[in-house]
Structure 1
Amino acid sequence: MMDASSKIQAGIYFGNIADLGSFDECLRIRNEEEKIKGKYCLAKLDIPMLHNGSNDNEETDSHSTYDHKMRWSICVPDGCTAEDVEAHLNSYDQNLNFTLKEDQCQTIESQLKLNSSDWIIIGILIGLACVILLSTIYDIFLHYITKDPVHPLTVAFSWFTNFKKLTQINNNSDVLPCLNGIRVLSMFWIIHSHEILYASESPMINMKEAKEIWLTHIWSLFTLSSSVATDTFLFLSGLLIMYGFLKSRAKKIPFNIPIFHMHRYLRLTPSYAALIILYLTLYMKLGSGPIWETCNQRLQDNCKEFWWTSLLYIQNFVNADRVCADQSWYLFVDMQLYILSPLILIPIDKWPKIAPYLFGSLVAAFTIIPTTVAWYYDIQVISTNRVINDWNKIYYGQVHTRGGPWMIGLVLGYILFQTKHKKIRINKILAAFLWLFTVLAILYIIFGIYPKFDFQYSKLYSIIYIGFHRNVWALGLCWIVFACVHGYGGPVNWFLSLSVFQFLAKITYATYILSEGFQNYNRGILRVPVVFKNFYFLKSFFSTTCFCTVLSIIWVLCFEAPFGIIDGVIIKAVSNIARKENVKREKVKQDT
C-alpha cells in the first residue's frame, strides 16, 4: 500500500501538483488471510503558496480538475473511511489542510457493474447487429443475382450498400464540392482545440508553464479563437438550406413545412439519441481511473435529468449549463434556426424583390443583438464559462447571438443559386484584393487580439469585436466559397474539393458528436499527469482524429445511414398522403 501511495513529487512549484499514485496496484491488493483489500483515495491539499499569481476568485469550469489544490493519493485498507484517512493525513501537522470525501475513494467492489438497463441496451445492440448482418447478407445476395430489393427497408441496415454510398464520390459541380473541405478542416480544428482544452483541465506536470508561457504565446489564440469553427458549420447550414430550397422550388416541388421539419429531426436525432443512450448506460462502465468519475459522471447525471430537453433541442434555454453532451449546444442552435427558416424562405420565394431588404435587415439585427449582449454583460474579447456565469445561456449557445453566420450563409445560398448559370467576370486585381482582404480578416479574427494578457482592452473594443467578429468570419467564408464556385479559387478550390474531403464530410456529423466523448474518456482514464507541450497535442490530435474517423464510420453505418433510408421512406409516404389530400380538395373545389 505504501508503494501504491503518492510520494512528494518533483516540480511542485512548476505546477506538478497532482501525484495520482498507482491506482491499479492499489485496487488489486488483496490479503485473504487478514481479509484486507486496497482502497484508493485521492485527497486534496490546500497550499496557499501555490495560489501566488493566480486569481483565487476565478470560477472554474464545471468539469475541470484544476483548482490550485494538490492531489495526493493514498492507498489504505478498505475498512477505513474517508474521515479516517483525512484525520490521519492531517495528524502529521496542524498546519496541513487535507480534505477528502467518500466519493473520492474507490475499491475494486465500488467499480461500476452492469445493471438491468445496461443489459437491455446490450440486448438491443445484439439485436441491431443481427438485423445489420441479415440485411447485409440479403443485400449481397441481391447484388450477385442482380435483383432489386423487395422494399428499401429490407436493405436499410446493409453495410454493403451503405458503405458504397459512403465512399461514393459525386463529381457534379452542383453539389458545391469546396464546402466539403471547409467542413472537414473546421472539424479538425475543433478536435485539435478540444484536445488542448481538455488537457488544460487535467492534472499536469507543468501547469505553471501552461499558464505563464503557452497561454501568453500568440499560437495559443489558434485554440482560444476556435469557436468560429462552429460558426463555419452554421454558415454552411444556412447556405445549404437556401440553396436546396431554391433548387426544389425551381423543380416545382411543393414546400411542405411539417415534412421539412420532420426530415431534419429524423436526420439528426437517431445518431444523437444513440449517444445519449450510451451516456445513460454503458459509458461509465467502459473506463476507470483516479479521476474517471470526476471527468465523466456529470455526463450520465445530466443525461438522466435532462435527456428530454436534449431530444427536443431546447436545452440551450432549459438548464443550459447542464447539457447532456458538451458539444450539443450547436445542434440546438442549428435545429432552432432550421425550424424558423420557413419564415424567411417562403417570403423570399413569393416576393423575390424583398430579398435584399429582408436579408439586410436580418444581418443587421444579428449584428446588433450580440453587440448589445456584449455591452450589457460586459463580455471581454475572449470569455468562457470560467469568467461569466451562465455563459451558454447568456451568449455562447443562443440563437440570437450565434445566428449571424447562419443568416449570411442564407444570403450566399441565394446568390449562388441566382448566379449558378451565369458567367461572373471579376477583374483580376479586384479578385486578388478580395483574397488579400479575406486572408487578413481571418488572420485578425484568430490572432489579432494578441497580446491579450499584456494589454487591457477597452470595453468599446470588446463590444465591437464580440458583436462583429463572427459575421466578419462568415463574410470571409462567403468570398472563399463564391470564388471557388465561379472559377476564382485556383489552388484553394482544388484543395478544398479533393475527393477525400467529400468522404470525410459525410461522417463529420458523427465525428462532431462523438469526438468530445472520446476526449473525455481519454482524460478520465489518466493514470499520470500529462505534459503540456505542443508535440504532445499534435500526437493526441492525430490519434483522436484517426480513432474518431473509424468510430464515426461505424456510427454512420449503424445509425445515420439506416435511419436516413427510413427517413426517406417515411417522408415519401407522408408526401404521397399529402398529395392525395390536395387532389381531393381540388376535386371538391371543382365540383362546387
Structure 2
Amino acid sequence: MNLSVVLLLLVLIQVNGYLHLDWEVRNQALNQSLYEDVLDSEECQKQIAILRDNTFLLSLFLDAGIRLPRGLLAGNTVDLGNYHQCLEINTTLHNTNIEGKYCMIRVPLNQELSLQPISSIQFSNFDPFSLHLDEDTITKINNYKLKRAGIKALFGADLNEIRSGPGNPLEFSVLRLAVCIPKPCTTEEAISGLLFNITSLGFQYEDDFCRLPDDKPWVPADFTAFGIFSLIGFLTFLSTYYELNHIFGRKRDPKSANQILCMFSIYSNTKRLLTFKSSPGALECIDGVRALAMIWVLLGHSFSSQPFTYNAIESFQWILSYEGLWITSAHITVDTFFMLSGLLVVYTTAGKLTSVGLLKNIHVFYLNRLLRMFPILATTALLEASVFNRISDGPVWDTIVSQTHRCRTFWWSTLLHLQNYLNSENVCIGATWYLAIDVQLHLLSPLVLVWVLSGNKKIAWSALSAGVVLSLSAATVYNFIKEFPTGMITAERGDEMMYYMVYYYMNTLTRAPPFLVGMVFGYLLHTYRGKPVYISTILNLILWALSLSLLLTVCYCTYPTMQPGWDNQTVDSLINSFMRPAWALGLGWIIFACVNGYGGPINWLLSLNLWKLPARLSYAMYILHFSLMVIFNSSNTAPIYFTVSYIIFLFYGFFVLTFIVAIFVTVFIDIPFSILFKLLLDKVKGQGKESTKSVDDRDLFKSAPVLNSHTNRRVSNNNGVQKFD
C-alpha cells in the first residue's frame, strides 16, 4: 500500500476513529456493600449519645476529623484528618462496640452559614463560620488546580482527575475535608449529632467516599496474582537449586547444565543482567541517552505525582516561571524514545537483511517486538489489578482504587497495545500509552523499511524522505484541523486538557515524525558504519551549536504559551507540529557526532559504563516507576510543603526504589520469559535442539535497545536466512 495512502487513512482515523468504551467494574477493589451494610440509624444515635458522655473518646473522633485546611489562603483545599487514628478506634462501652469510620466530604467554598446571633458574645470582624473567600484567591486556587492536573496528565498520571475537572463545576471550588464518625452513622447523622445541626445552619456538602478497616475483598484477580507469583517463586527456587547444585555441588561445567532447567535461576539470570559484552557496531552513546532520558522522566514524575501541597499557589507560580521550565518541558523526553526506536529499527536491519528477507520473516519481526515487551507489561498489569492495592493504604487511596479498577477492566487493551484508541481516558498503566504508540509505529515501519533494505541508496533515501515529509504534513494538517493548545499547562485553555491528552498527546500520527526522523539517522549511521567521516572543526562546531540551540528552543517554545493572555492558535498548531521532530533532529546529530568521533566530552559522558545497567533496566523502570510513586504518595497522611529541594530529595528515593524493584522484576520475570520466548521461536524455525544448549546473553540484552532490550538484532542461521533475535 502506498505510504501516502496509509498516512491519509491515519489522518481520517485520528479525526474520527476513537472509541470510548463504557465500563463497569465487576470486582470492586473496595467492598462497597460493606459501607451500606454497617449503616444503622438507631445504633448510630445510641453511639452518639455514648460519645457525648465520654470526652476522651469523643476527642479521638474529633481530633481525627473535620477542620479547615491548613494553608487555605495559600491554595490548599484539602484536610486529610488522621486516617489511621480514625480507623484504629475500636472500643466497647456499655456493651456497645464503637469503631471509627473515615469519610471524605466535599464542601463548596462559597457558602454563607446561617448562625443565630448570641448577644452575650462579642464577635470580631472575622467570622470563623464563613467559608466565603475573595474572588482573587478562588481564581488562583482554580488556576492552580487546572495547571496541576495538566502537569499530572502530561507526565502520565491519573486522567480521571482531569476528566472530573471541566465536567464538574464544583471540582475546583470545593474543600475536601476528612471526618471521623462512628461506623453505623452517615456523615449527616454524625455531624449533626456531634458538631452542629446541618439543616438549621445551612451547611452544604457532598459525600465523597468512606473507608473501614478490612474493606478490601479478595476477588479472582487477587487469587490469580498470588497464584502466578507463587508459582514463579517456586520455579525460581527449583531452578536456582538445580544450577547451584550442578556447579558447586557436582563441580560440573556451567555450560553443560540444562538451559531449560536453569531458565529461572537467580544465579545465572543475575550474571546475565550484570554482564556487559561489547559487540561490533554498538552505539555506546545511546546507553547514556536512554538512561538520562529515563532519569528526566522520573524527575518530572516526582514533581507531578504529588497529590496535595500546603502552598499550592506558590508551587503553581513556580511551575509557570523560568525556574520550572526544566520540569514543564520534560514531556519532550518521550520523543527521545520514539526517535531512538526509529533509529534502531533501521540501524539493526540495514545491511543485514534484504527486503525479501524482511517480508519472509515479518512474523518473526513482529513477534519478537511483542513478546519481548510482554513479560514486564503483563506483570505490572497484574500487580496493578491486585497486589498494589493491598501493599499499603491511606486517606487518598482512591487514586490506587481507580487504577486497580481500570486494570481489572482494561488489562486486555494494554496487552494488545490498543489503549490509546479504545479506552484512552481509562488506561490501565498510565505510562503505557507510549508503548502502544511505539508498537503501532513498529508495526507500520516495514512500509518504509522494505524500501530501505532494497540495497539501492536512492530508493532508500527517497522512501525515508517521503516518510518524513508525508508524516509531518499529515500531522500538521491534523493539528490545524483539531486546533489543540500547545500543551497541558496553559493559563487560558485549561478546560481542554483531556481533549489535548487524548487526541494529541497519545496519538500515533503526532508521534510518527520523530520516529521517522530516527529512521533517517539510523540509515545515515548505517551508511557510514565502519567508514571514516570527515567534518571540519568549524562545521562541527556550527552543527553542535545548531543542535544544542534547537534542543533549547524546543524546551523553551511552550513557555510563552503557558502565560496568561496567550491567544495565538496558528503558533500553537505550528509548535505542536514541529517541536517533536525538531527535538529528534537535534538529538540525532548528537548521536551521529558521538558515534563518528565528533562528540568530544559529551560522547565520553554518554558512553560511560555507569549508564549501562540503568539503560538495561530502563524498560522495567519506565513501566513500574509511576505506580510506585503513586503508592507512596497515596499513603501520605497529610499534604506536603512544596519546595524544589524536597521534591528532588523524594526523587532520589523514588529512583533507588524503582531501580531495586526493576532488578527483581528483570531477574525473576523478564529474563526467564525472554529465554522461554527465544527457545519457542527457535523451535518454530526448526532450531530447538541447538537453542536448548545455550542462549547467548547478547540475544537477551541487545547492545543498543530503546527501553531495555526491545530492539531486534539479526544473526544468520545455517541456511543463510536472516533472522531476528
- TM-score normalised by L of structure 1: 0.91
1:589 aligned partner: none
What whole-Å deviation, never above 9, does each CA across 1:310-356 have from its counterpart, x for those lacking one? 11111111121111110110110111111112222222222522112
What whole-Å deviation, never above 9, does each CA across 1:223-249 have from its counterpart, x for those lacking one? 222221111111111111111112532
How far 1:170 sits from its partner (Å)? 2.8
What whole-Å deviation, never above 9, does each CA across 1:284-325 have from its counterpart, x for those lacking one? 1122111102x1122122122222111111111112111111
How far 1:257 sits from its partner (Å)? 0.5
2:588 aligned partner: 478
Matches of 1:90 and 1:491, distance apart in 2: 71
* Aligned counterpart in structure 1 of residue 610 of structure 2, from 494, 500, 523: 500
1:396 aligned partner: 505
1:409 aligned partner: 518
Q: Given that residues 224 and 382 in structure 1 are in contact (C-alpha distance below 8 angstroms), is that contact kept between their aligned partners in structure 2?
A: no
What whole-Å deviation, never above 9, does each CA across 1:452-499 have from its counterpart, x for those lacking one? 315525222111111000000000111110000000011111111111
Structure 1 pair 457/442, CA: closer, same or farther in 2 (3 Å)? Answer: farther
2:402 aligned partner: 298
2:266 aligned partner: 159
Matches of 1:434 and 1:136, distance apart in 2: 52
1:242 aligned partner: 346
Q: Given that residues 19 and 73 in structure 1 are in contact (C-alpha distance below 8 angstroms), is that contact kept between their aligned partners in structure 2?
A: yes
1:179-328 aligned at under 5 Å gives the runs 179-199=286-306, 202-211=307-316, 213-249=317-353, 256-293=361-398, 295-328=399-432
Report SS of the residue matched to 1:76.
strand
What whole-Å deviation, never above 9, does each CA across 1:234-291 have from its counterpart, x for those lacking one? 1111111111112532899775011111111110011101111112222211221111
How far 1:67 sits from its partner (Å)? 3.0
* Aligned counterpart in structure 2 of residue 46 of structure 1, from 83, 101, 108: 108
Structure 1 pair 345/503, CA: closer, same or farther in 2 (3 Å)? Answer: same
Matches of 1:388 and 1:52, distance apart in 2: 18
1:117-128 aligned at under 5 Å gives the runs 117-128=221-232
Q: Given that residues 22 and 527 in structure 1 are in contact (C-alpha distance below 8 angstroms), is that contact kept between their aligned partners in structure 2?
A: yes
In the alignment, structure 1 residue 37 sits paired with structure 2 residue 99: yes
Matches of 2:606 and 2:652, distance apart in 1: 20
1:586 aligned partner: none
1:572 aligned partner: 682
Q: Given that residues 66 and 178 in structure 2 are in contact (C-alpha distance below 8 angstroms), is that contact kept between their aligned partners in structure 1?
A: yes
2:448 aligned partner: 344
* Aligned counterpart in structure 2 of residue 62 of structure 1, from 143, 148, 160: 160
1:175 aligned partner: 282
Matches of 1:301 and 1:20, distance apart in 2: 23
Q: Give the partner amino acid of 2:84.
A: D
Matches of 1:324 and 1:509, distance apart in 2: 17
Report SS of the residue matched to 1:532.
coil
Report SS of the residue matched to 2:62.
coil
Q: Give the partner amino acid of 1:22.
A: N
Q: Given that residues 203 and 530 in structure 1 are in contact (C-alpha distance below 8 angstroms), is that contact kept between their aligned partners in structure 2?
A: yes
Report SS of the residue matched to 1:488.
coil
Matches of 1:389 and 1:52, distance apart in 2: 21
Matches of 2:478 and 2:334, distance apart in 1: 20
- TM-score normalised by L of structure 2: 0.75
2:75 aligned partner: 15
Q: Given that residues 389 and 400 in structure 2 are in contact (C-alpha distance below 8 angstroms), is that contact kept between their aligned partners in structure 1?
A: yes
Q: CA RMSD in A?
A: 2.6
Q: Given that residues 182 and 190 in structure 2 are in contact (C-alpha distance below 8 angstroms), is that contact kept between their aligned partners in structure 1?
A: no
Q: Bigger CA drift: 297-306 or 455-464?
A: 455-464
Report SS of the residue matched to 1:246.
coil
Report SS of the residue matched to 1:266.
helix
2:86 aligned partner: 26
Q: Given that residues 82 and 105 in structure 1 are in contact (C-alpha distance below 8 angstroms), is that contact kept between their aligned partners in structure 2?
A: no
How many residues align structurally? Answer: 573
Q: Bigger CA drift: 69-78 or 85-94?
A: 85-94
Q: Bigger CA drift: 430-439 or 44-53?
A: 44-53
How far 1:563 sits from its partner (Å)? 1.2
1:138 aligned partner: 242
Matches of 2:253 and 2:298, distance apart in 1: 43
How far 1:510 sits from its partner (Å)? 0.2
Q: Give the partner amino acid of 2:510.
A: T
Matches of 2:526 and 2:341, distance apart in 1: 15
Structure 1 pair 8/53, CA: closer, same or farther in 2 (3 Å)? Answer: closer
Q: What are structure 1's unaligned runs of at least 5 residues?
A: 584-592
Q: Given that residues 44 and 70 in structure 1 are in contact (C-alpha distance below 8 angstroms), is that contact kept between their aligned partners in structure 2?
A: yes
Structure 1 pair 569/198, CA: closer, same or farther in 2 (3 Å)? Answer: same
Q: Bigger CA drift: 16-25 or 324-333?
A: 16-25
Q: What are structure 2's unaligned runs of at least 5 residues?
A: 1-60, 111-132, 150-158, 165-170, 689-716, 718-725
Matches of 2:254 and 2:277, distance apart in 1: 24
Q: Give the partner amino acid of 2:293.
A: S
1:98-109 aligned at under 5 Å gives the runs 98-101=205-208, 104-109=209-214
2:695 aligned partner: none
Q: Give the partner amino acid of 1:440.
A: S
Matches of 1:450 and 1:306, distance apart in 2: 36
How far 1:556 sits from its partner (Å)? 0.5
Matches of 1:147 and 1:44, distance apart in 2: 64
Larger Rg belongs to: 2
1:360-439 aligned at under 5 Å gives the runs 360-383=465-488, 387-439=496-548
